[in-house]
Amino acid sequence: MAFLNKDERDALLNDIKNKSFNGIRGYVNRKDAKARLAYFRNVQESGKWMTRYVLEGLGTQVTVYEKLDEENEGWFSKRKYEIEQIVVEPTANNRL
């Protein structure tokens, strides 16, 4: 497969920007057979959870930034994540 250039990466971002977290995961896995999960909800900045997918066949990586939207519903507290930002950037091998 050929690596994605800037315009194709922007088109990929437009395709996934309105999807849910699971929708992004499914789209990325269907887009590239060599896609892999680099890390899942890793905290590298305070208050931001990051998930990164590496699309090795397309020379692209997709990073999803989420924030925690915690609602206390009585005795049960369920974590809800809200997508803040999605970054689509080239890998080190992609020079397009």
Measured between alpha carbons, how far is 88 from 2 in angstroms, rounded to an integer? Answer: 16
pLDDT tens across 30-70, in order? 999 999 999 999 998 888 999 999 999 999 999 999 998 77
Q: Which DSSP symbol is given to 19? A: S
* pTM score: 0.86
| Tally of residues, the chain | 96
CB 55 within 8 A of CB 31: yes
Domain ranges of the chain: 6-90
pLDDT tens across 58-67, in order? 999 999 999 9
- Give strand pairing partners of 48: 45
9: phi then psi, degrees, rounded to nearest 5: -70, -40
